C-alpha cells in the first residue's frame, strides 16, 4: 500500500467567531494553543511520514497564533516539507501580518488561502468578520512583495444583505487583485450558529443558481477555469492538495476534528480539546470495503473536471463495471450533464448543478 503524499493540519483557534461558522474551532487562548502544538507535534510525528507532495494548514485560523507560536508551528512541520510541491496556509486578512508573511516565505509556504467571504463592510459586519477590503488588498500586496503569488480567496454566496450588485462588486474587487484561485461556496445555515438563532434563511435554489451563473460567467471572462464544483483558477493553478481529495487519493489528517484516509481506512479525530490534548486523537475509523471505495471514487472524481471518472480505472481497481450503466451514462451525456473523453467521464457545468442526482444514477 502506497503511503499518503498529502498532509492536512488543523489549527482550531480563531480570534473571534463568525456568525455562520460550523467548523471545529475555539476561541484563541494562548495557554491552550501552547498545549495544542505539543499534542499536534506528537500526532504528526507518530505517522512516520516520508515524502509529501502537498501540505495544507487550515482551521480555524492558523494565523491567529501569536508570532512565537506561529514560528513553533512552522518548525513542527519543517521536517516534512522537503520536496513538497504545494504548501498552503489558510489565513484571515487581518491577522496576516508582515512578520507572519516573512516567516511563511522563509519556511517555504508557497500558497495562501485567504478567508475573504465578501468585500462589503456591511456584509462583513453582519457576519462578525473582523477585516475590511483594505486589509485584503494590503495582505495580498505584502504576500506579493515576499514572492507568494499563488493566492486563493474564499467567497460566500447568500450572506446577509447580499444582492446581485454586491456580488458583481465582490467579483470586480477580487479579480482586480493578483489572485490565482477563487473558492465560492453557498451559505449553509447550521443549527447553533448566530445566523441560525437570528432566523436567517438560506438563499432559495433558483436565486443561488442565478448567483452561480453570475460567478461562473464573470470568472470565465476574466480567464478563470471552473475546475471543481466550487472552485475556479487561472490556468495551472488548481489546488494540488484538494485534487488529492477529488482523485480519491490517501492523506494524513492531523489536529482537532481533522479527517484522514490511510490504508483504505477513513478516520476522524476527536473534536474534544481535552481528549486531543491527552493524546486521544482518533475517535472514528471506517475500514472501507471495495464497494465503499468505488462509491467514494465515483463521488469524488466527478466533482472535478481535472480528475474525471476513468471507467477502466474503476474496473481495474475495484471490479466495478460501469458499462452496465451505459444507458444511464448515454442519457446523461445526451442531456449535456456529462462528457466522455476516451474512457473518462467528466461533469459539465450543467452537470455540476445536479451532481448528487448524477452520482445516484451511477452508484
Q: Which residues bind ligand SF4 (CB under 6 A)?
A: 14, 17-18, 21, 23, 25, 59-61, 92, 115
CB of 188 to ligand SF4, least distance (A): 12
Nearest to ligand SF4 of 84, 127 (CB atom): 127
CB of 164 to ligand SF4, least distance (A): 24
> Going along the chain, which residue ranges are E strands?
6-11, 13-14, 26-27, 54-59, 86-91, 111-117, 151-157, 181-186, 225-228, 231-233, 252-254, 259-262, 265-269, 282-287, 309-310, 338-341, 344-347
CA distances from 214 to 25, 173, 267 (A): 32, 15, 37
Phi then psi dihedrals of residue 59, to 5 deg: -165, -160
CB of 11 to ligand SF4, least distance (A): 10
CB of 256 to ligand SF4, least distance (A): 11
Nearest to ligand SF4 of 18, 39 (CB atom): 18
Strand partners, 186: 157
Grid cell for residue 165: 450588485
As a residue count, the chain comes to 363
Distance of CA 272 to the CA centre of its chain: 22
Nearest to ligand SF4 of 24, 299 (CB atom): 24
- Please say whether the beta carbons of 85 and 123 come within 8 A: no
Nearest to ligand SF4 of 19, 43 (CB atom): 19
CB of 136 to ligand SF4, least distance (A): 14
CB of 115 to ligand SF4, least distance (A): 6
Cα distance between the two ends of the chain: 25
Burial of residue 166 (number of CB atoms within 10 Å: 0-12, 13-18, 19+): middle
Nearest to ligand SF4 of 90, 238 (CB atom): 90
CB of 135 to ligand SF4, least distance (A): 13
Nearest to ligand SF4 of 112, 307 (CB atom): 112
Handedness of CA 245, 249, 253, 259 (dihedral sign): positive
Nearest to ligand SF4 of 92, 119 (CB atom): 92
* Residue appearing with cell numbers 471552473: 226
3-state class of 229 per DSSP? coil
* Residue appearing with cell numbers 435554489: 205
CB of 65 to ligand SF4, least distance (A): 13
Nearest to ligand SF4 of 181, 306 (CB atom): 181
Amino acid at each position: 500500500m502506497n503511503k499518503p503524499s498529502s498532509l492536512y493540519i488543523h489549527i482550531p483557534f480563531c480570534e473571534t467567531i463568525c456568525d455562520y461558522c460550523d467548523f471545529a474551532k475555539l476561541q484563541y487562548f494562548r495557554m491552550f494553543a501552547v498545549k495544542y502544538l505539543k499534542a499536534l507535534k506528537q500526532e504528526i510525528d507518530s505517522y512516520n511520514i516520508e515524502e509529501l507532495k502537498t501540505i495544507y494548514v487550515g482551521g480555524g485560523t492558523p494565523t491567529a497564533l501569536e508570532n512565537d507560536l506561529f514560528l513553533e508551528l512552522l518548525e513542527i512541520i519543517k521536517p516534512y516539507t522537503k520536496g513538497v510541491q504545494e504548501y498552503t496556509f489558510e489565513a484571515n486578512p487581518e491577522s496576516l501580518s508582515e512578520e507572519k508573511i516573512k516567516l511563511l516565505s522563509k519556511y517555504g509556504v508557497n500558497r495562501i488561502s485567504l478567508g475573504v467571504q465578501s468585500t462589503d463592510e456591511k456584509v462583513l459586519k453582519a457576519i462578525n468578520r473582523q477585516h475590511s477590503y483594505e486589509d485584503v488588498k494590503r495582505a495580498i500586496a505584502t504576500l506579493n512583495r515576499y514572492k507568494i503569488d499563488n493566492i486563493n480567496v474564499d467567497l460566500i454566496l447568500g450572506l446577509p444583505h447580499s444582492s446581485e450588485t454586491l456580488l458583481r462588486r465582490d467579483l470586480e474587487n477580487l479579480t482586480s487583485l493578483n489572485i490565482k484561485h477563487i473558492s465560492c461556496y453557498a451559505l449553509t445555515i447550521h443549527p447553533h450558529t448566530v445566523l441560525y438563532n437570528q432566523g436567517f434563511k438560506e438563499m432559495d435554489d433558483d436565486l443561488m443558481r442565478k448567483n452561480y451563473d453570475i460567478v461562473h460567467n464573470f470568472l470565465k471572462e476574466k480567464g478563470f477555469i471552473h475546475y471543481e464544483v466550487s472552485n475556479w483558477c487561472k490556468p495551472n493553478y488548481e489546488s494540488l492538495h484538494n485534487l488529492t481529495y477529488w482523485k480519491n487519493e490517501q492523506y494524513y489528517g492531523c489536529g482537532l476534528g481533522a479527517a484522514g484516509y490511510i490504508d483504505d481506512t477513513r478516520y476522524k479525530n476527536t473534536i474534544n480539546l481535552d481528549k486531543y490534548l491527552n493524546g486521544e486523537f482518533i475517535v472514528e475509523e471506517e475500514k472501507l470495503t471495495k464497494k465503499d471505495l468505488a462509491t467514494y471514487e465515483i463521488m469524488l472524481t466527478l466533482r472535478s473536471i481535472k480528475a474525471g471518472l476513468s471507467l477502466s480505472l474503476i474496473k481495474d481497481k475495484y471490479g466495478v463495471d460501469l458499462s452496465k450503466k451505459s444507458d444511464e451514462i448515454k442519457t446523461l451525456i445526451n442531456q449535456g450533464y456529462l462528457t466522455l473523453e476516451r474512457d473518462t467521464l467528466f461533469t459539465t457545468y450543467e452537470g455540476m448543478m445536479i451532481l448528487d442526482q448524477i452520482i445516484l444514477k451511477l452508484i
